[in-house]
Homo-oligomer: A and B are copies of this chain.
Amino acid sequence: MRIGVLTGGGDCPGLNAVIRAVVRKGEGVYGHNIIGFRHGWRGVVECKTIDLTVSNTRGILHRGGTILGTSRTNPYKTEDGVSRALDTLKRERVDALVAIGGEDTLGVASRLTDEGVRIVGVPKTIDNDLSATDFTFGFDTAVQVATDALDRLHTTAESHDRVMVCEVMGRHAGWIATYAGMAGGADVILIPEEPFDVDDVCERIRHRHLRGAGFSIVVVAEGAVPKEGTMATQDADVDQFGHVRLGGIGTILQNEIEGRTGFETRVTILGHIQRGGTPTAYDRVLATRFGIEAIDAVHQSDFGTMVALRGADIIRVPLADAVRELKTVDRRLYDAASVFFG
């Protein structure tokens, strides 16, 4: 068989581990030919490929990013995208595809499956918000990076009697904020799932300080939103004259907390260091296992599936299920985290 591999969407620690595993078992054990498409679906549309071999995928297990490059190109939103993609697959005599990506990438994979393309999906979201799998690789690394940052912020918060606001990733779900907040000893965790009242936040901080704690750590997911009417954030991005204001919810919170409590407040926005760099051991193992399972599925012609983690096991689920529902933070988990608030 001749098997194509691609990585789409935002990058994520562990992508190279998946690629390496697919190649190692695909070529090394099954004897298939593996080619990589460059920059996600764009490489399929534009027919940009590189050969992948056991030899040229050595030593990439611990490397962040993706050797294939990535993009957000969607053939269904590109002129002639689908027909050009199908042409490429035909011309390159690609028997099957391993598509590694998130909601968008796998959504394309699901639709192309319906058009007869033989695809196995590998889920990828640093935000851990896909419902079909317990965890996705990259998430553990992001949580560890954020936790390391919180450990560092703790000592400086303590020495200066400050409030430290730390903005982490999570546009639609607060998994990183909840996990890192629990691991980093946060006093407040704000997530998209639970609109917050900034007065409550300030009240908790004041309460802490009254009881003798000189500092507070607030972890906020980038997608966290205030309850309607509690903060003028609807207008926060653009002022009355149409000037774009820089900075997201973290920066806004810094100003609100400092303004309302009078406590010196600082913000740290972790940004892209959460998604770059070497994966944790956990993510390397999960990504490797996903890669092995994906190539096994291809070899067994079990197409239209996606690999997933269930408990300690790797399973396969229908590709169509993969992107059906956003997995939001478990209520019991957030409750456990909130025991330590305030």
- Contact surface of A with B, Cβ cutoff 8 Å: 10-11, 13, 15, 21, 24-25, 28-29, 59, 61-66, 69-71, 134-135, 140, 143-149, 151-161, 164, 179-180, 182-185, 214, 239, 241, 243, 245-247, 251, 266-273, 275-278, 280-282, 284-285, 288-289, 292, 310-314, 330, 332-333, 336, 339-340
CB-based nearest B residue for A156 = B276
Asked if A70 contacts B28 (CB within 8 A), the reply is no
Asked if B155 contacts A281 (CB within 8 A), the reply is no
Query: Chain B residues near A340 (CB, 8 Å)?
Result: 24
How many copies of this chain?
Answer: 4
CB-based nearest B residue for A251 = B246
Asked if B65 contacts A156 (CB within 8 A), the reply is yes
Asked if A281 contacts B183 (CB within 8 A), the reply is yes
- Docked CA distance A31–B12 (Å): 38
Query: Chain B residues near A11 (CB, 8 Å)?
Result: 155-156, 159-160
Asked if B243 contacts A281 (CB within 8 A), the reply is no
11 of the cross-chain contacts (CB-CB < 8 Å) are: A11-B160, A24-B340, A61-B183, A70-B160, A143-B281, A145-B152, A157-B276, A183-B282, A266-B271, A292-B336, A311-B311
- Docked CA distance A333–B312 (Å): 9
CB-based nearest B residue for A58 = B213
Query: Chain B residues near A10 (CB, 8 Å)?
Result: 160
